[in-house]
């Protein structure tokens, strides 16, 4: 005697409704047939899956375990049907990818460009989000893959190494801090800054770090890309915090001085996160493999010269 998809759908729906009669009505199925299927499941595993009360049924600990796996099987089946249907109709498949600012602007463009060039039937919906929001979105199934700051505690997701970068301070060459090679973030907070969009992931992070020091960042202007940010700093509008690779790229063009931040959080290890790599659709696993290959090849790790 084995479970089938009808059994699994019945049990998942029963967990939602808390009522066997309502479950039978929604399937639809005779109440007696629904009761027999539930009894079959309990006999198969020799455990009680639900407790019956006057207001309905409540899952036992064994029932919670069955529900977890039932939902996984049903979700996998839905993904399989969706992928096969897309293939049969010749449709492009989409991967939902969330990344923080550093990952989306510094590390992902080259990797994704190569991936998309060799995978013409796959599209990627890339959205920038703060790391905390990425965790929630992956846990809730709103995205397939996320790339986030590893300093954030993550317990229920699978994590893989992706890249490392350092945040640095940039100043105009004639600024009073321009003689410094290293500096603490707290020492910069009395100076005006220019920043990325106030809703960007890195901007929200820096504002949090400033608040921990008991101060607020004073932004004279916000812009939406690193190139214009570097230009504003070079013109004397204010200081800025940039990823090291971006800062080194734009420093010669905009007469910038780059200062290493002493704060531990300035070194950022980025991790790939997924709910379960084995449950990703085939095209999602191909992207995951491409991201991991980029790290293995050394594209993710910073060499000392890059600082």
Q: What is the full DSSP assignment across 237-306?
A: S-BEEEEHHHHHHHHHHHTEEEEEE-SGGGEEEEEEEES-GGGS-HHHHHHHHHHHHHHHTTSSSPPGGG
| The pLDDT of residue 306 | 37
Name the strand (E) or helix (H) holding 11. Answer: helix 5-17
Query: Residue 164's CB: how many other CB atoms inside 10 A?
Result: 17
The two structure tokens encoding residue 84: 């096969």
| The pLDDT of residue 83 | 65
Q: Which structural domains are found in the chain, ordered by start?
A: 5-88 (1.10.10.10), 94-299 (3.40.190.290)
pTM over cut 0.85: no
Main-chain phi, psi angles of 87, to 5 degrees: -60, -45
Do the strands 182-183 and 193-196 form a parallel or antiparallel pair, or are they unpaired?
A: unpaired
| The pLDDT of residue 194 | 95
Q: What residues form DSSP beta bridges with 98?
A: 127, 146
| The pLDDT of residue 142 | 87
Residue written as token pair 């989409």: 94
Half-sphere exposure of 37 (CA within 13 A, CB side): 22
- 209's CB contacts (< 8 A; 6+ apart) are 185, 263, 265
| The pLDDT of residue 1 | 61
- Are residues 239 and 190 in contact, defined by beta-carbon separation less than 8 angstroms? no
Alpha-carbon gap, residue 81 to 85, rounded angstroms? 6
- In Å, how far are 51, 59, 78, 155, 284 from 64, measured between CA atoms? 12, 6, 21, 19, 28
| The pLDDT of residue 86 | 60
**pLDDT averaged per 10 residues, the chain (length 307):** 85 91 89 91 91 86 91 79 62 82 87 93 89 87 88 77 91 94 95 89 88 92 91 95 91 95 90 88 90 71 37
Residue written as token pair 């049969």: 88
Name the strand (E) or helix (H) holding 234. Answer: helix 226-234
Main-chain phi, psi angles of 137, to 5 degrees: -65, -40
End-to-end CA distance of the chain: 63
Alpha-carbon gap, residue 239 to 257, rounded angstroms? 10
């Amino acid at each position: 005697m084995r479970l089938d998809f009808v059994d699994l759908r019945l049990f998942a729906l029963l967990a939602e409704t808390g009522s066997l009669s309502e479950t039978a009505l929604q399937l639809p199925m005779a109440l007696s047939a629904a009761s027999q299927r539930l009894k079959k499941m309990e006999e198969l595993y020799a455990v009680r899956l639900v407790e019956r009360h006057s207001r309905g049924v409540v899952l036992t600990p064994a029932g919670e375990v069955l529900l977890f796996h039932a939902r996984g099987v049903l979700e996998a089946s839905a993904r399989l049907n969706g992928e096969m249907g897309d293939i049969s109709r010749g449709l492009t498949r989409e991967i939902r990818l969330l990344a923080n600012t550093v990952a989306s602007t510094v590390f992902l463009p080259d990797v994704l460009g190569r991936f998309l060039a060799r995978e013409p039937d796959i599209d990627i919906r890339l959205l920038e989000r703060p790391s905390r929001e990425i965790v929630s979105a992956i846990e809730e199934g709103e995205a397939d893959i996320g790339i986030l700051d590893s300093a954030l505690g993550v317990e229920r997701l699978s994590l893989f190494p992706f890249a490392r970068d350092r945040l640095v301070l940039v100043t105009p060459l004639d600024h009073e801090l321009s003689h410094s090679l290293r500096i603490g973030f707290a020492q910069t907070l009395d100076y005006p800054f220019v920043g990325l969009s106030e809703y960007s992931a890195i901007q929200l992070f820096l504002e949090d770090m400033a608040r921990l020091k008991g101060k607020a960042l004073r932004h004279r202007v916000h812009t939406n890309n690193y190139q214009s940010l570097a230009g504003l700093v070079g013109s004397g509008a204010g200081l800025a915090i940039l990823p090291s690779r971006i800062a080194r790229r734009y420093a010669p063009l905009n007469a910038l001085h780059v200062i290493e931040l002493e704060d531990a959080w300035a070194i950022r290890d980025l991790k790939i996160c997924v709910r379960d790599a084995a449950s990703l659709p085939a095209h999602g696993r191909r992207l995951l493999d491409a991201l991991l290959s980029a790290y293995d090849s050394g594209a993710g790790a910073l060499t000392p010269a890059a600082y």
